[in-house]
């Protein structure tokens, strides 16, 4: 069976978990306190990050590379479209969320509020939190603009781009940092993706010391 | 003709330039002072970053997505291998250089020494420069380890992974921040890639206020 080394609220791990579940690939989850730099873990992954996936006799790192691999090796259901233009748009948006959204929002809210405490790295920097809270509004508006003329973020089919976005937003929703009242379109999109069977594992996550709000796992939020 | 909005020393722009040149796609280069946040530029790219490529009637951002698109639409010569495992390895390494190497090395050396001055953002932070100078040694050793049993970084053929790595190293070499004496294998690899016709444009770059060292454009460095 495949095995994923992860931390529950990492958006990169969540993206891989969603892709695995959507493709019905059975996978054992192992929590990895990667910041303690355990020697065994570093041997598996010199990058020292999560997610790390053991599958098909290989050990893999880098979530974007893992997800493309899973889609190529397990093509059903497809999470990448067929044409080069459409594939570009999916990859652009995966990059948008995993790079831009990550630095401007996730790192400033989730990492300040949760990771710092878990990793014993001090208190949240209030300026970062403020900047993150401002930046997420811009990003939600950008998503609303995309969804104004598309059913899913990258086009009319659900793709990796939706999982990348949902991975970040679900982790932020765990700490009540997403204002679902800001855009009807974004809320409808999240309700659709949240109700997929692939999402169940993520909605069942529990991080000690950080109980999720009641609406987190509620499909009618 | 295609048009690339870029800055000369950006590793992400250099990677796209190398792919375009390797595939013999003619492209006009337009320097973009993206940090001045020109309204026209932001209209083309809400992400506010370079590179931005105008090609095939589209405007594209995010260098990894652009490079995969170019390889799919212009498959000759191929810069991605065929099998899923081999493609994974290329993407893992592109992610390694564009994320890990970028944050640990490029941002701490190139951005501290050059970008801060060009963007009028103050003086280099000496702690960052020191950390970057230490980190590049680890990365050169990692490359040497890969090249110990492979002809190119991701396997026996030249791929996007080599261009991603060469894009970062060439930008750092422009400010003499690469110690080519550290590893014979890495130096040989760089000599091979540097001598390709696709590299000529990058070796001719001149940044006002930052003349390159003599060895920068020398194929026998």
In angstroms, what separates the C-alpha of B162 from chain A's closest C-alpha? 16
A-chain residues within 8 Å CB-CB of B61?
92
Residue B184: partners with Cβ closer than 8 Å, 6 or more residues away: none
Closest-CA residue to B139 (of B106, B113, B170): B106
Q: What is the pLDDT of residues B199-215, one digit of tens each?
A: 999 999 999 989 999 99
pLDDT digits (tens, 9 = 90+) for B97-114: 999 999 999 999 999 888
Residues of B (36-65) whose Cβ lies below 8 Å from A: 46-47, 49, 56, 58, 60-62, 64-65
Instruction: Inform me whether the pLDDT recorded for A119 exceeds 90.
Output: no
Instruction: Check residue A85 and give its pLDDT.
Output: 97
Q: Residue A89: its chain B contacts at CB < 8 A?
A: 65
Phi and psi (nearest 5°) for B31?
A: -75, 135
CB pair distance less than 8 Å for A84 and B72: yes
A201 Cα to chain B: minimum distance (Å): 26
Nearest to B92 among A65, A87, A142 (CB): A65
> What is the rounded average pLDDT of the residues B25-49?
83
Cβ contacts of B62 on chain A, cutoff 8 Å? 91-92, 95-96, 99
**How much is the ipTM here?**
0.94
Interface of A with B in 84-113 (CB under 8 A): 84-85, 87-89, 91-92, 94-96, 99-100
Q: For residues B47-57, give the mean pLDDT.
A: 91
With CB atoms and an 8 Å threshold, state whether A69 touches B84: yes
- Contact check, Cβ <8 Å, B46/A100: no
A-B CB pairs within 8 A amount to 72
Q: Would you call A91 and B61 a contact, using CB atoms and an 8 Å cutoff?
A: no
Nearest to A91 among B62, B92, B142 (CB): B62
Pick the CATH number of B84-196 from 3.40.1280.10, 1.20.1050.10, 1.10.10.10, 3.30.830.10: 1.20.1050.10
Peptide bond into B77 cis (omega under 30): yes
Domain ranges of chain A: 84-196
In this predicted structure, what is the pLDDT of residue A42? 77
Q: What pLDDT does residue B16 have?
A: 98
- With an 8 Å Cβ cutoff, are B88 and A100 in contact? no
Of A138, A131, A127, the residue nearest A179 (C-alpha) = A138
Q: Hey, CA dihedral for A189, A78, A88, B93, is it positive or negative?
A: positive
Separation CA A194–CA A192 (nearest Å): 6
- pLDDT attached to residue A12: 97
Structure tokens of A219?
Answer: 């499909």
Residue B122 is predicted with a pLDDT of 87
pLDDT in tens, A141-164: 999 999 999 999 999 999 999 999
Q: Do B92 and A60 touch (CB under 8 A)?
A: yes
Confidence grade of residue A73 (pLDDT, cut at 50, 70, 90):
very high
pLDDT of A167 over the 80 cut? yes
How far is B67 from chain A, CA to nearest CA, in Å? 9
Mutation target vs B (from A11, A56, A62; most B CBs, 10 A cutoff): A62
- Is A180 part of the contact surface with chain B (CB cutoff 8 Å)? no
Q: Is B19 on the interface with A (CB under 8 A)?
A: no
pLDDT given at position A48: 78
- B217's CB contacts (< 8 A; 6+ apart) are B203, B204
Pairwise CA distance, residues B37 & B201, whole Å: 26
Q: Rounded to a whole number, what is the largest CA-CA distance in chain B? A: 49
Contacts of A87 in chain B (CB under 8 A): 68-69, 72
Among the partner residues B47, B69, B88, nearest to A84 by beta-carbon distance: B69
B17 in Cβ contact with B8 (< 8 Å): no
> CA of A72, closest CA in chain B: separation in Å?
6
> Are residues A62 and B95, on separate chains, in Cβ contact within 8 Å?
yes
The tens digit of pLDDT for each residue in B99-155 reads: 999 999 999 999 988 888 888 888 889 999 999 999 999 999 999 999 999 999 999
pLDDT reading at A207 higher than 80: yes
């Amino acid at each position: 069976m495949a095995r994923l080394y992860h931390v529950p609220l990492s958006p990169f791990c969540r993206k891989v978990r969603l892709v695995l579940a959507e493709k019905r690939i059975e996978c054992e989850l192992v929590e990895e306190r990667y910041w303690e730099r355990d020697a065994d873990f570093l041997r598996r992954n010199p990058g020292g990050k999560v997610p790390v996936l053991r599958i098909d006799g290989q050990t893999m790192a880098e979530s974007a590379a893992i997800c493309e691999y899973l889609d190529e090796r397990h093509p059903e259901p497809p999470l990448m479209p067929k044409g080069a233009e459409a594939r570009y748009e999916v990859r652009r948006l995966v990059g948008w969320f995993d790079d831009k959204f990550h630095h401007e929002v996730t790192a400033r809210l989730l990492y300040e509020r949760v990771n710092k405490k878990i990793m014993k790295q001090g208190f949240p920097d209030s300026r970062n939190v403020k900047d993150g809270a401002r930046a997420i509004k811009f990003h939600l508006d950008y998503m609303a603009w995309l969804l104004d003329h598309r059913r899913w973020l990258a086009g009319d089919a659900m793709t990796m781009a939706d999982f990348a976005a949902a991975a970040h937003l679900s982790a932020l929703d765990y700490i009540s940092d997403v204002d679902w009242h800001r855009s009807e379109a974004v809320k409808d999109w999240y309700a659709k993706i949240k109700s997929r069977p692939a999402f169940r594992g993520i909605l069942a996550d529990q991080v000690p010391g950080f109980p999720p709000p009641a609406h987190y796992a509620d499909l009618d939020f």
